[in-house]
Amino acid sequence: MKNEITIKIYDEAGNFAENKDKARDIRLNKIFPALDAGDTVILDFSRVTSTTQSFIHALISDVIRKKGIDVLDNLLFKNCSDVVKEIIEIVVDYMQEPPEHLPNGIKKSLGK
């Protein structure tokens, strides 16, 4: 049976979630094991007023990269402030498409 695992971000990272070390710990020790077990993960941002793109990237980008974008069916975001929502949407968007704005020289070095 599929369980719902709720992870309270405030308890790990405080009301301004910026510590990427904490984000990595949550990702490796809580998100991946729960998803691997077939559970649905709810990231609860209640009491988190703000965050950084670096934190959200460290929290979910590798999950999307390794599990595929459909992991978003089992990785839900709860009680997000407007700032937190915007940053999650930015990271989710750019994890689905490689940047197209890179200069030609960089694209070449990236093999594009």
- Which residues contact other proteins by CB under 8 A? 14, 16, 18-21, 24, 27, 42, 49-50, 52-54, 57-58, 61-62, 65, 69-70, 72-73, 76-78, 80-83, 85-103, 105-106, 109-110, 112
Nearer to other proteins (CB atom), residue 1 or residue 93: 93
Q: Are 22 and 13 in contact (CB under 8 A)?
A: yes
CB of 37 to other proteins, least distance (A): 20
Nearer to other proteins (CB atom), residue 1 or residue 100: 100
CB of 81 to other proteins, least distance (A): 8
